[in-house]
Structure 1
Amino acid sequence: MPTFVLASASPARLTTLRNAGLDPVVIVSGVDESQVSGVPPAELALALARLKCDAVAERPEVPAGALVLGCDSVLELDGEALGKPADAAEAVARWRAMRGRSGVLRTGHALRDTATGQVAAATASTTVHFADVTDEEVAAYVATGEPLHVAGAFTVDGLGGAFVTGIEGDHHNVVGVSLPALRTLVSDLGHSWTGLWSR
């Protein structure tokens, strides 16, 4: 069974993969996300996922024959890609723009088999409907710090879950990794999804 490596610092991604039966080794990519710009949101998410995957796959501490997963998420609103807000003021402004509306969460996935050098990649998209939250709710949410550390300035599996009225598509994609998409990528590289289960 190949070692599964997650090239991400996201605790939500790690928890999702563990709950799905995998036991990833975490190696943070350290990629400067500002080096990719001027492309549509879906392409941006995929390009950043590829950069993260490539950065980690080349490291000497990656076990031989490992599967390395790079992921990146952005929220598309009005054609613009929204990653992590720079500060609290940006998070507040973003929530005022999002409330009562819908956006599309795009997560890029790039999976490399270090034994063969092959890469399988895909972007998963999930529509997210936001509640018409009040200014007071926005201020209280931003004050917790949670929206400052996540793409789109919200979570569906944390405090922000109460402000998401519904989703269309894969729930796990909104958390940060689409399990159905990942299963397909694993299969495309000639591996068995259930063969990666650690239990």
Structure 2
Amino acid sequence: MRLILASASPARLAVLRAAGVEPIVRVSGVDEDAVAAALPADADDATVVEALARAKALSIAEAIGSDPDLPSTAVVIGCDSMLAIGGALVSKPVDAAAAHAQWRSMSGNSGRLLTGHAVVVVVDAAVTAEAVDHSSTVVHFGSPTARELDAYIASGEPLAVAGSFTLDGRSGWFIDGIDGDPSSVIGIGLPLVRRLLAAVGVDIAALWAANPTGD
């Protein structure tokens, strides 16, 4: 069964490739603000990231059959990450000023990164099964100097990632430690995805066979 990654994230793609899987990549284009706004006002953080991940996966799954470049039978994975810190849930910063503000609240503190994961199985262009869950990892942030932070934000990296940081990039210098799954912090938690795949009847051996990396 071919794997489709419903994400433009190069970090998620790199994690899957390093784990022996070469997915088809499709970007969902889901209106994240609209999905979040449609949730109950008292929806907790986990509900938000799970709903966003599911919306992304379903967007691609439901396009199978109308897109001649996609296989009619596949498993689609969608993800969404947000950082809970200081009583707020933050995603990607909208600009450099927002990234600076996020880092002022993160510096020397700890936050909880939540990543929603959704797996949707499509057989003959029809959705037949799905499983959704989230991971939660505590991230302990160091305290970059003003010069270091200015240089980091000027690189543009924090504008492309939830919480203005990523474990596997330039901000790795400023992460003192994590409590949880490193791959989930990068954007896609392999242990959780494996459990979700098992729940819909797909094992890793089958993914390796159907989606070889060519190594």
Match of 1:131 in 2: 142
Match of 2:164 in 1: 153
Q: Aligned with 1:118: secondary structure?
A: strand
Q: TM-score, normalised by structure 2?
A: 0.89
- The answer (yes or no) to whether the contact 2:86–2:105 under 8 Å persists in 1 is no
Matched, 1:140 2:140: no
Residue by residue over 1:70-89, the C-alpha shift from the partner in whole angstroms, topping out at 9 and shown as x without a partner, is 10000111232110001000
- The answer (yes or no) to whether the contact 2:52–2:79 under 8 Å persists in 1 is yes
Match of 1:196 in 2: 207
Instruction: Find 2:190's aligned residue among 143, 168, 179.
Output: 179
The residue identity in structure 1 corresponding to 2:46 is: A
The residue identity in structure 2 corresponding to 1:96 is: R
Residue by residue over 1:43-68, the C-alpha shift from the partner in whole angstroms, topping out at 9 and shown as x without a partner, is 11111001101111011223122000
**Gaps (5+ residues) in structure 1?**
none
Match of 2:108 in 1: 100
**Percent of residue pairs bearing the same amino acid type:** 47
Match of 2:57 in 1: 53
Alpha-carbon distance between aligned partners in 2 of 1:137 and 1:40, rounded to the nearest angstrom: 34
Q: Aligned with 2:98: secondary structure?
A: helix
Match of 2:76 in 1: 68
Higher mean Cα deviation, 107-116 or 23-32? 107-116
**Aligned-pair RMSD on alpha carbons?**
1.1
- The answer (yes or no) to whether the contact 1:8–1:29 under 8 Å persists in 2 is yes
Alpha-carbon distance between aligned partners in 1 of 2:157 and 2:97, rounded to the nearest angstrom: 14
Residue by residue over 1:140-173, the C-alpha shift from the partner in whole angstroms, topping out at 9 and shown as x without a partner, is 1111100001000001101010000000000000
Q: Aligned with 1:46: secondary structure?
A: helix
Alpha-carbon distance between aligned partners in 1 of 2:205 and 2:52, rounded to the nearest angstrom: 27
Could you tell me how far 1:135 is from its partner in structure 2? 1.9
Matched positions, count: 198
Alpha-carbon distance between aligned partners in 1 of 2:168 and 2:103, rounded to the nearest angstrom: 17
Match of 2:27 in 1: 28
Alpha-carbon distance between aligned partners in 2 of 1:78 and 1:104, rounded to the nearest angstrom: 10
Alpha-carbon distance between aligned partners in 2 of 1:131 and 1:172, rounded to the nearest angstrom: 20
Cα 1:136/1:42, change in 2 over 3 Å: same
Q: TM-score, normalised by structure 1?
A: 0.96
Residue by residue over 1:11-63, the C-alpha shift from the partner in whole angstroms, topping out at 9 and shown as x without a partner, is 00001011111110001000111111453222111110011011110112231
Match of 1:91 in 2: 99
Could you tell me how far 1:110 is from its partner in structure 2? 0.5
Q: Aligned with 1:137: secondary structure?
A: helix
